[in-house]
Each structure stands twice: as C-alpha cells, then as structure tokens.
Amino acid sequence: MELQFITTGDGCKIAYRFDGPTEGPVLLLSNSLGTDMSMWAPQMEALSSRFRVLRYDSRGHGTSDAPAGAYSMDRLGRDAIELLDALRLDRVAFCGLSKGGMVGQWLGYRAPERITALILANTAPFMGPPASWDARIAAAREQGLAALASASAGRWFTPAFQQRGKAAVEAIEAAFLQTDPEGYAGCCAAIRDMDLRPTAPLIAAPTLVIGGTQDPSTPPDQARALAGAVKGAKLALLDAAHLSNVEAPEAFTEQVLGFLGGRP
C-alpha cells in the first residue's frame, strides 16, 4: 500500500502505510528518535506475512509534519490514538523502539482498551538528565543533525556492526540526516520532560520488553527494571546496541513473532 496521511486535531499531517494481508490482525510499529518507518525494513517480510502491519512516521520525522516547538509524550501518544481512530481500528498489537517504546508505555496505561499486546524495545520510562537533552536540542537547531550524526551512530550500533553492516547503518544514517531539526528537537523535548515510572505498574496488556546487552542509551539494567515494573512482562536481551531490530534482525523478529504468537 502506498504512503497515505491523516491530519491530527492540531493540524499535524502524519504519514502511514499498511503492509500485509487486509484481513490480518493489525500490528502498529512506532519508530525511534531520528529515524522513520523505514527502520522496520528488516522485520517487514516476516511480520507482513502474519500481520496487517501499520507503520507511521512519528510527528517531526520522515514525511510527517514537523511543527515548531516542544512536543510532549501526551501529544505523541495522542497522535497514535488519532491514527487508529481515523483508520477505524479499535484494538491493535503495538511494537515501538526507543521513543516508539515510550509511546507504547503511554498507550499501555492511557489507552489500555486499544492495545492487545505491547512490545517495548530498547526503551525506558525516564531518560535524564534534562540538561543533556537541552544540549542536544540546541545543537540540532543551531548546527543541524549532521553535527549529531556520529554520536548517534555510536549509540545505535556496536563498532563491530558498523563495520559488517555498513549498508544497514548507512540507510539509518540517511534517514537521520533527512529528519527535520525542528521535529527532532520537539521530540527530544518530549523525552526530556517524560517520566512514566509511576505509571508502568498500571500497564495491564501482555508485554514483552526487549533490550540490548550493548545498548548505551537504554542499558540492560533499564530493560530489566521496566520489565520488573510491568506486571507479568517478559524480558528478552539481545546481543546488540540501541537499534536492536537492525543490528540483530533475526533475533528481534523471532522474539516479536514468538511473543505475539496467536494473539488477535
């Protein structure tokens, strides 16, 4: 299916697309900070054979609009809800990585009636200190994302994968450099101001937490803590850095399919 758009209540255009069988159960995928829906390319063949996969570009990313100003996690979560409402989808399974996983945590307690299962990958309910995010926001706005590209790649991938997986790394870096600096800064502000630690125990949906053993952004201890906070959550740690779905695609896909299984 070709790229399509909805417009949210505050006038922001959000890009989305479907892949997979029309009558299949819907799996919503939410991208990380500084990427777009193409980050899920390593999973698409396997997931779209079993699910009607719905991908979207987060506000400020890809071909979605990038309104000026700070965003909030409430706003990013409402974008996902408004997408489901516009497409008349009552309930979906959800998989999000990093910022996408933060949206998933928000949905898990704010809109539990919309979620059949949650996969929260390489994410955390809180990411301080605020000063580090303020510095990143300033750099994005004043220097552009090229100034942040090298540091981002160092967080996203291990040095070994940067060598052996050059094509995949270059594709992610290209998407990063095409991200609107204002949209990137807006999402940085949402992460800076977010604290979902008090609400993690309120998540009732079946949940899988995926972490990377070499992830410097959301280290294994954070994955363990999140899995421990969500009642009944399962934990899987992969040999990868932050973008574990790209660095360890087969293991990531296996965890997702194994967890969702026959869930509607």
Q: Which domains does the chain have, with CATH numbers?
A: 4-260 (3.40.50.1820)
- The pLDDT of 17-34, averaged and rounded, is 97
Is residue 121 pLDDT above 80, yes or no? yes
**pTM score, whole prediction:** 0.97
- The pLDDT of 160-186, averaged and rounded, is 97
Among 136, 87, 83, smallest CA distance to 111 is for: 83
Q: Is the dihedral of CA 127, 174, 36, 136 positive or negative?
A: positive
> At 128, is the pLDDT very low, low, confident or very high (cuts 50, 70, 90)?
confident
Is residue 186 pLDDT above 80, yes or no? yes
- 233-262 pLDDT per residue, tens: 999 999 999 999 999 999 999 999 999 984
Task: Give residues with Cβ within 8 angstroms of 33, minimum separation 6.
Answer: 98, 99, 184, 187, 188, 191
Element (H, E) at 80: helix 73-86
Is residue 189 pLDDT above 80, yes or no? yes
Residue 172 contacts residue 164 (beta carbons within 8 Å): no
- 203-220 pLDDT per residue, tens: 999 999 999 999 999 999
The pLDDT mean for the chain works out to 97
Other C-beta atoms closer than 10 Å to the C-beta of 86 total: 15
Q: Which residue has the tokens 């410097």?
A: 216
> Residue 262 has what pLDDT?
45
> Residue 263 has what pLDDT?
42
Element (H, E) at 207: strand 207-212
> Residue 174 has what pLDDT?
97
Other C-beta atoms closer than 10 Å to the C-beta of 48 total: 18
